[in-house]
Structures are given as structure tokens and as C-alpha cells.
Structure 1
Amino acid sequence: MIVRIMGEGQVEVADRHFPELDKLDDELLAEVQSGDGAGFRRTLHALLDKVRELGEPLPDDSLEPSELILPAPDATLDEVRELLASAEPDTGLIPPV
């Protein structure tokens, strides 16, 4: 799956890694819902770091469509709350694979 991190670029992440990413996404969703700012920041960075670690970066000049878009590392709790509002209820940023 092609994943874009806003403001950074794209990586290709194998489907086999999504159960691991989904655990972090579930934590992030709970922290956003509870308003836990410190937990949100920690988990957002952990999720983005894991995507970078597990994914293969695509060339900067690649124009592949992104199947998943994740917020920038400096996104606020409110910005992520808005992204989640446009997703399916209780699925988090990463839809079930």
C-alpha cells in the first residue's frame, strides 16, 4: 500500500505490516477521543516512525496515488480529530486491511 505522510513524501508498506501499525492507530484513536495530548503526540510519532521504518521510500519524482494519507508529525490533536471525522467511525487513520 502506498502511504503518504503529509509534508514528507510517500512510502510503500507491505500489507503484512498493517496489523502492527493498526495497534498504534488504535492507541492514537483512543488518545484523540480522550483528549490525551501527551499520549497523542507520543503515539503519532511512534506510528509515523514505524511507517518510515517498515516502508520503502518512493522516489521524490514518483506520482503514485496514495492509498493512505497520514498527518504530518507536527499535526495538532484538533487537526487529527478532523481527519478522523472524515473516516469510518472507530476505524482510526488506518482502515482495516
Structure 2
Amino acid sequence: MIVRIMGEGQWKLADSHFGELNGLDDELLAEMENGDTDGFRRTLGALLDAVRRLGEPLPDDVLEPSELILPAPDAGLEEVRKMLTDDGLIPG
């Protein structure tokens, strides 16, 4: 799966990594619902770091259709809230 982090680039991730990403996504969603801004910042950073750590970055000159788009590291709570689906940021 191709994942884009807004403002940074794209990473190719194996489907086997989505369990870890979904766990962080669930945590992020709970923090947003509770208005926990510090927790939101921490977990958003951890989610994006996991994509960078687990994925293979695509070269800047390669543009693949992204199956998943994640917010930029400095995205605010309201900005991320607009990107949410019923499943959070990551389907499943």
C-alpha cells in the first residue's frame, strides 16, 4: 500500500504493518474525542514515525496514487478531524 504524509512524500508499506498503525490510529481517535491535545500530538508523531520506520520511501520523482493520506506532522486537531472517517485515519 502507498501511504502519503502530507508535505513530506510517499512510502510503500506492506499490509502486515497495518495492525501496528491501526493501534496508533485508535489511540489518536480516542485522544481527539477526549480533547487530549498533548496525547494527540504525541500519537500523531508516533503514527507518522511508524510509517517512516516501517515503510520504504518512494523517490521524489515517483508519484504513485496514494491509497492512504495522513496529515502533516504539524497538523492541528481540527484539521485532522476533517480527515477522519468512521474508522479514523486508517481504514480497518
SS at match of 1:11: strand
Matched with 1:76 is: 76
TM-score, structure 2 as length reference:
0.98
- Summarize the alignment of residues 2-81 of structure 1 with structure 2, pairs less than 5 Å apart: 2-81=2-81
1:95 to 2:91 alignment:
yes
Structure 1 runs (4+) greater than 6 angstroms displaced = none
Measured in 1, the distance between the counterparts of 2:57 and 2:20 equals 19
RMSD: 0.5
SS at match of 1:25: helix
**Structure 2: gaps spanning 5 or more residues:** none
**Structure 1: gaps spanning 5 or more residues:** none
Counterpart amino acid of 1:18? F
Report how many residues are paired: 92
Measured in 2, the distance between the counterparts of 1:36 and 1:74 equals 16
Task: Give identity over the alignment, percent.
Answer: 74
SS at match of 1:64: coil
Alpha-carbon distance, 1:63 to partner: 1.5
